[in-house]
């Protein structure tokens, strides 16, 4: 498959995964169908929109109705399917992991296409993968995953950095894309499965001063 078609397909898959994660969050908050669509859209498009604005390029989902329609259909599908899921938080985490892995690399790829430096590409890949989820959690009144001890932004940064590094070493772009996504997903999946997390800050007891 040509790279352009591969990236287009992965963009749709990533948006659908993030839309499902957003809609599952809406189900936990017992929202109506409009709320499902709104939270799904925030999750699916938030990171990519911020990336596009920072790169000074058109926001993709505003240029064609296809992505917005797909996200709405996914959200409504979850609205009707969610009552049949006994444990909604687990599918939410895994759908979010898939979207994160895809968008980490796709965000870095978009930045490189626009002439950004390799360092900026890694940052923008991480932003693309995490900002939509952060918007979702803030609107839904939850602490964003990116601010918890969970290995989330770290996994996104790993995937983006591996992709950028392989590109810099002259690896085929298709291979770099697959390796970056696989690394991001593998780290996030291992963290979910084994309960890995980053160390949290532990304040010391206060001291009395004379």
What are the tens digits of pLDDT across the range 102-148?
999 999 999 999 999 999 999 999 999 999 999 999 999 998 888 87
In a domain, 209, yes or no: no
Residue 197 φ then ψ, to 5°: -155, 160
Cα–Cα dist 11/17, whole Å: 10
Q: Give CA–CA dist 208/42, Å, rounded.
A: 48
Helix (H) or strand (E) holding 18: helix 3-28
Q: Is 64 helix (H, G, I), strand (E, B) or coil?
A: coil
In a domain, 157, yes or no: yes
Does residue 199 fall inside a structural domain?
Answer: no
Domain assignment of residue 86, yes or no? yes
In a domain, 185, yes or no: yes
Q: pLDDT grade, residue 161 (50/70/90)?
A: very high
Provide CB contacts within 8 A for 130, sequence distance 6+. 47, 100, 145, 146, 152, 153, 156
Give me the domain span that covers residue 47: 3-194
82 and 24 Cβ atoms separated by less than 8 Å: yes
Spell 28-47 as b/e; 16+ CB within 10 A means b.
eeebeeebbbbbbbbbbbbb
User: Residue 208 falls within a domain, yes or no?
Assistant: no
What is the DSSP secondary-structure string of 35-58? Answer: HHHHHHHHHHHHHHHHHHHHHT--
Domain count for the chain:
1
Give CA 193 to chain center in angstroms.
19
Residue predicted with more confidence, 203 or 124: 124
Q: Which two tokens stand for residue 189?
A: 């999946």
The verdict on residue 127 lying in a domain is yes
**Does any domain span residue 178?**
yes
Higher pLDDT, 199 or 2: 199
Nearest 5°: CA angle at 159, between 25 and 9? 70
Model confidence pLDDT, tens digit, residues 49-86: 999 999 999 898 888 889 999 999 999 999 998 887 75
């Amino acid at each position: 498959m040509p790279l352009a078609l591969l990236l287009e397909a992965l963009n749709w898959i990533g948006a659908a995964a993030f839309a499902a994660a957003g809609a599952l969050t809406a189900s936990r908050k017992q929202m109506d169908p409009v709320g499902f669509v709104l939270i799904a859209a925030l999750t699916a498009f938030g990171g990519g929109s911020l990336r596009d604005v920072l790169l000074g390029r058109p926001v993709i989902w505003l240029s064609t109705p296809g992505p917005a329609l797909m996200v709405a259909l996914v959200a409504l599908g979850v609205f009707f399917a969610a009552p049949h899921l006994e444990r909604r938080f687990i599918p939410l985490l895994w759908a979010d992991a898939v979207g994160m892995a895809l968008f980490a690399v796709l965000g870095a790829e978009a930045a490189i296409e626009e002439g950004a430096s390799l360092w900026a590409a890694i940052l923008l890949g991480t932003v693309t993968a995490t900002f939509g989820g952060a918007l979702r959690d803030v609107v839904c009144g939850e602490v964003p995953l990116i601010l918890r001890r969970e290995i989330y932004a770290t996994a996104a940064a790993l995937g983006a950095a591996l992709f950028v590094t392989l590109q810099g070493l002259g690896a085929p772009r298709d291979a770099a894309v697959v390796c970056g996504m696989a690394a991001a997903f593998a780290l996030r999946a291992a963290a979910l499965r084994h309960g890995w997390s980053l160390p949290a800050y532990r304040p010391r007891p206060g001291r009395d001063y004379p």
